[in-house]
Amino acid sequence: MAKETLLLTIGVLGGTGKEGKGLAYRWAKAGYQVLIGSRYSEKAVTAASEIMELLEGESSVVGTTNQEAAGQANIVVVTVPYSGHRELLENVREALNGKLVIDTTVPLVPPKVSKVQMPPAGSAAQEAKEILGENVEVVAAFQNVSYEYLLGDEDIACDVLVTGSSKKARQEALTLVEAAGLVGWDAGPIENSVVVEGLTSVLININKQYGSTHAGIKITGAQKPSGS
Amino acid sequence: MAKETLLLTIGVLGGTGKEGKGLAYRWAKAGYQVLIGSRYSEKAVTAASEIMELLEGESSVVGTTNQEAAGQANIVVVTVPYSGHRELLENVREALNGKLVIDTTVPLVPPKVSKVQMPPAGSAAQEAKEILGENVEVVAAFQNVSYEYLLGDEDIACDVLVTGSSKKARQEALTLVEAAGLVGWDAGPIENSVVVEGLTSVLININKQYGSTHAGIKITGAQKPSGS
């Protein structure tokens, strides 16, 4: 028990989709305790056992409700479709007080998903910040990664741009990007989230125009101190 | 004379800055006729002769006023700082009727240039489209390239994302991107310009955080038909 309390717990809300499962798999493999949250805890339990099977090890992935996952985790990752974004955040608002929230949401507006259409707040991450208030740090990340790849162990040729409400929050999120085996970059204040989220529509457009399925981006001309 | 009228003429407005001179150099080298425009034609004449010296050949680069360049060119490229964007476009509006305008402007708001701050239209390109009206196609491109490199002949490790008011306009612009020796991608409708323009602030932020000077982006996971 004492050992467990030393470990950082990541709660992946809406974690039964492929985005959430892929990230949960990578973080559990890296040694984090992961809580998968869902509106229906049975779905989360099933997703958690699927991941535990893939890991074949001593990793810790537990399925529960979004409310429980939000309450018990140190860092909370939001992986719901944009249509459920506001409702989820309003429901778990109290439990997130004082925590770091990593928002992976892309505010796509079907059917025109290749056209950038941001909410009035400017981006999904800024909308989350508005809902959650001053006492919660919000970071945008992981919008452009092809999640199919996360459940495997291959290298992913797409960097992760990290924007957020403080430099400290961005740095904490960058640690989790690297723990997931990806290259992350501090891409600036939360107002820059429109670029990171909107890039998904640009990449969807490139896939459509050039017949690709997993277009991504790499930063060139800059080097990270650790070389990762 | 007959030969000349067969060639496409590119007018580079505000072309005495390093952005404009770099693009003018590359297009002149590729065989296009280039008109460099400036508020002061003497400055444009000087810039044109500097480029002609670099080219040492039969290329055609002529300096003139913005008004003349806009009127005589088939395709017009805007390379002014954002502070002069609206005034320039309003001044040459009549001359641009029916033409393709490639807008390279990044709406940076000093001193916070690492923070995305778009004009009410959504982006500089959308603002240009509002000013120029239905009969002018507007494309956004070249915002993220380090212009110092354009006046040399080395490879530039930064792709060009092209957004614009029609697919045909984006394709015409992509031809000019390739003529300048760069790799371009159709990044979708003009509403996506916020991503392309805003990416400049993200790259400025990366330069600041990681001590680089020329951060750029490359598209991964997709291939262009011509392999360029």
Is A190 a residue whose pLDDT tops 70?
yes
Distance of CA B157 to the CA centre of its chain: 17
H/E element, B38: strand B33-38
For position A6, what pLDDT does the model report? 43
For position B124, what pLDDT does the model report? 98
Mean pLDDT on A150-174: 93
Mean pLDDT, chain A, rounded, equals: 93
Asked if the Cβ–Cβ distance from A206 to B219 is below 8 Å, we say yes
For position A226, what pLDDT does the model report? 64
Which chain A residue's Cα is nearest to B198? A195
Instruction: Report CA-CA distances (Å) from A181 to A178, A215, B34, B213.
Output: 5, 18, 47, 26
Cβ pair A36, A69 in contact under 8 A: yes
Residue whose C-alpha is closest to residue B162's, from A202, A145, A144, A158: A202
Residue A3: pLDDT band (50, 70, 90) is very low
Task: Say what percent of chain A tops pLDDT 70.
Answer: 96
Mean pLDDT for each 10-residue chunk of chain B (228 residues)?
A: 59 95 95 96 96 87 98 97 97 97 96 95 98 98 89 88 98 96 97 98 96 95 76
pLDDT in tens, A36-53: 999 999 999 999 999 999
> Nearest CA to CA, how far is B203 from chain A (Å)?
7
For position B151, what pLDDT does the model report? 87
Residues 6+ apart with CB under 8 A from A6: none
Mean pLDDT on A1-21: 78
Chain A contacts of B188, Cβ < 8 Å? 114-116, 201-202, 205
For position B226, what pLDDT does the model report? 64
Is A123 a residue whose pLDDT tops 80?
yes
Task: Say what percent of chain A tops pLDDT 90.
Answer: 86
> Nearest CA to CA, how far is A133 from chain B (Å)?
21
Chain B contacts of A210, Cβ < 8 Å? 185-186, 222-225
